Amino acid sequence: MNGTAAPAGIVITELSGIETGDGPLRGLRLAVKDNIDVAGAPTTGGSRIFGHEPALATAPTVAALATAGARPVAKVNLHEFAYGVSSDNPWHGRVPNPRFPDRIPGGSSGGSAAAIAAGIAELALGTDTAGSIRIPAACTGVVGLRPRNGSLDLAGVQPLCPSFDTVGPMAASVSLVAEAWRALSEGASSPGGPLARAGAAGGRQGDLAGGGGRAPLRVGVCGDPDPAALGILEGLGVQTVRVELPLDEIEAAFWPAFRAEIARAHQATYPRLAGEYDPNVAAKLAGTQGIPLERYRASRERLAALRERLLGEWRRLGAVAVVSPVLGIPLPRVGEREEDYRDLLGLYAVPASALDLAALAVGDLQIMARSEREALDLGIALERAGLTPVAPRLG
């Protein structure tokens, strides 16, 4: 890591000597969340239960970035087993927030976000099941992409909730996240549509504003996103329309399926090794037990119906994306109890996970879209027009 000592609590294992390619990410340092395998290094999942033997193979997501030239330099800390939003880890240290030292870094990919914010790496990989890339991106002022389920090969990634688990890139800018996504997806989501072209024109009212008989693009607005970001959208000629997400209904449908899958993912170690878990995580696992198949199936069916309803509303409004905050409350202080804020912190992050949407966090601004390309295109247009990662509210 260029001989610079990393702040305590971020790095679990330093990496070196990994072969890389000569691609567009050449020379960029890569931090890997420690629930993703790198051959020869342990994968702890942020726990003391796993990581006693090194991984035998490198996860395809890591390999794709290394082939594109990124150099893995560290396995980084997380909320134990990726199940929490504080990244306060009793075994590997509390992850700091380099931008706001008296506040939490978010989670569960807190170490990935902190590695970017602290300058340990230019790129990071995180996982996102219910907001775990976007929440720490918002808390630390970086950028992170949650791809849709099934977009990438999750081999070599410790499962939390397999139907909702995703892996995505994090960086200090949308453009670098887009480069990483291009490498991860082999160009399938290379940004280059009308949104990106308009942004390349210097943020002027180009393709976004319509013209030539075409209607201007429309973007939904949910919650109270940053006014400056909305001003940049308007400057690009985008029409905004108010969108209300049924947040309570989405969460009520989501949590039974989420918890049922987590219980099955941990059934080999919980409750048998309950005393070896972080007590914070063990308490959550206790709440996942006993969800029957019928309730799980009903939860998945409700989510599918909600997704169709939401996308139908977007089509009716002509919205190509929806912007919102990521965080539902001001950024909590270090030392506050996670159970007191965890549900509200990711209030606006859960819908994209529950309804299988792509979602890009530019700090505390979230762009939800039907595809990664649509989210990245709008993010690039905004960035080229002057948007930087939106700071979280501190309260």
Determine which one of 108, 151, 175, 324 is catalytic.
Answer: 108
CA distance 45 to 49: 9
For residue 184, pLDDT over 80 is answered with yes
The pTM (predicted TM-score) of the whole model is 0.94
If you average pLDDT over residues 188-217, what whole number do you get? 49
Q: Are 55 and 38 within 8 A, CB to CB?
A: yes
Residue pointed to by tokens 């970017």: 116
Give residue for tokens 């020379």.
27
24 CB contacts (<8 Å, ≥6 apart)? Answer: 68, 69, 179, 182, 183
Pairing of strands 358-362, 143-146: antiparallel
- What's the mean pLDDT when you consider all of the chain? 93
Position 3 scores a pLDDT of 54
Across 122-137, average pLDDT: 98
Predicted local distance difference test score (pLDDT) of residue 196: 42
Dump pLDDT digits (tens) for 60-90. Answer: 999 999 999 999 999 999 999 999 999 999 9
What pLDDT, in 10s, does the model give residues 350-376? 999 999 999 999 999 999 999 999 999
Mean pLDDT computed over 18-34? 97
pLDDT above 50: residue 202: no
The residue from 132, 173, 175, 299 that is catalytic is 132
Active site residue 284: no
pLDDT of residue 203: 39
* Cα distances (angstroms) measured from residue 353 to each of 18, 88, 111, 187: 32, 23, 21, 23
Tokens of 228: 């400056």
| Residue 246 main-chain phi, psi, to 5 deg | -75, 75
Q: How confident is the model at residue 204 (pLDDT cuts 50, 70, 90)?
A: very low
Dihedral, CA of residue 114, residue 94, residue 286 and residue 355, to nearest 10: -10
* 214, 230, 345, 307: CA torsion to nearest 10: -10
d(CA 101, CA 78): 17
Across residues 248-266, what is the average pLDDT? 98
Q: Which residue is catalytic, options 33, 112, 175, 284?
A: 33
pLDDT reading at 215 higher than 90: no
Query: Strands 29-33, 71-76: parallel, antiparallel or unpaired by DSSP?
Result: parallel
DSSP per residue, 344-367: HHTTTTHHHHHTT-EEEEEBS-EE
Q: How far apart are CA 15 and CA 360, in angstroms?
A: 28
Confidence at residue 189, expressed as pLDDT on a 0 to 100 scale: 38
Banded pLDDT at 395 (limits 50, 70, 90): confident
- Measure Cα distances from 106 to 137, 182, 244 in Å: 8, 26, 25
pLDDT at 207 over 90: no
Question: Residue-wise over 285-295: b if at least 16 C-beta within 10 A, else e?
Answer: beebeebeeee
The model's pLDDT over 263-317, given as tens digits with 9 standing for 90+, comes to 999 999 999 999 999 999 999 999 999 999 999 999 999 999 999 999 999 999 9
Is 33 labeled as catalytic in the residue annotation?
A: yes
Does residue 200 surpass a pLDDT of 60?
no
Provide, rounded to the nearest whole percent, the portion of the chain with pLDDT above 70.
Answer: 91
- For tokens 């998945």, the residue is 300
262 or 186, which is more confident?
262
Amino acid 213: pLDDT: 52
